[in-house]
Amino acid sequence: MVWQGGLSVVLPAYNEVGNIRFSVIIAHAILSELVREFEIIVVSDGSTDGTDREVDELVGRYANLKLIRKPENEGYGFALRDGFAAATLPHVFFTDADRQFDLVSLQDLLPHVGQNDIVIGYRQRRQDTLVRRLVSQAYNVVVRMMFGLDVRDVDCAFKVFRRSIFERIHIDSPRFFVNTEILAKARRLDLRIHQVGVRHLPRLQDLSKVGWWAIPETVRDLLQIRRSLARTLGPKSDAALASRSPSTLAVPRDPAA
């Protein structure tokens, strides 16, 4: 069944020349089957490898494809911020341009959009190295402790937002911490969040843009956003967070994930 809403799809890309053409073509084909109205916004975050050229060649083919060229690499968070700002439809979905997510899984998120402000995916049978999976698990535990976020996979790049929430949530993090920032702020604002398992795929082209170098920056960002939350949204104790109604954050438990 075709979802009757309007969806802006944001694809942040930094030097993804080996992936971006396929990402756009596949996204357009799948969205044409799943969604009544959509647009695709590629945010090239200072790419120097021909990513822009690949997208330019597709803009003439797809009238609902837009390219945002950023002259310098400002970071994943600011790429999402600019993509969300350029969106024109009532809901915004983002995923990465590296083709590690099966976009067909979007059909599992869309039925939950009407009752929630944010619908987020969590990676089932994650196709990453053991070290990356362990680091991610540890990070999710830290996020849960610091922000009261009972989220299975906070950094999963497969999320749908009601676009109007970004009138209340302003993105300050330039890097990969942006996912935690958005969800932590949404939690403080009592926005409704729902989680759905999605299919994760092995990376086929190029290398991941996240490495061990990101850990010190992430720790600094965690502390900074915790201070920022208390300053801009008012302090809330961990006990208050824990006492929230469970209906605010729907967390399905899937033992097979």
Order across the sheet with 118-124: list the strands: 65-70, 35-45, 3-13, 91-95, 158-162, 118-124, 193-199, 249-250
Mean pLDDT of 216-242: 59
CATH topology classification for 3-250: Spore Coat Polysaccharide Biosynthesis Protein SpsA; Chain A (3.90.550)
Beta bridge partners, 9, equal 40, 93
221 Cβ contact list (under 8 Å, min separation 6): 173, 175, 177, 180, 181
Q: Is the pLDDT of residue 130 over 80?
A: no
- Condensed to tens digits (0 to 9), the pLDDT of residues 27-78 reads 999 999 999 999 999 999 999 999 999 999 999 899 999 999 999 999 999 9
**What are the Cα distances from residue 61, in Å, to 4, 7, 55, 192?**
24, 19, 10, 37
Q: What's the 3-state SS for 92-128?
A: EEEECCCCCECHHHHHHHHHHCCCCCEEEEEEECCCC
One-letter amino acid of 246: P
**What is the predicted pLDDT for the residue at 223?**
67
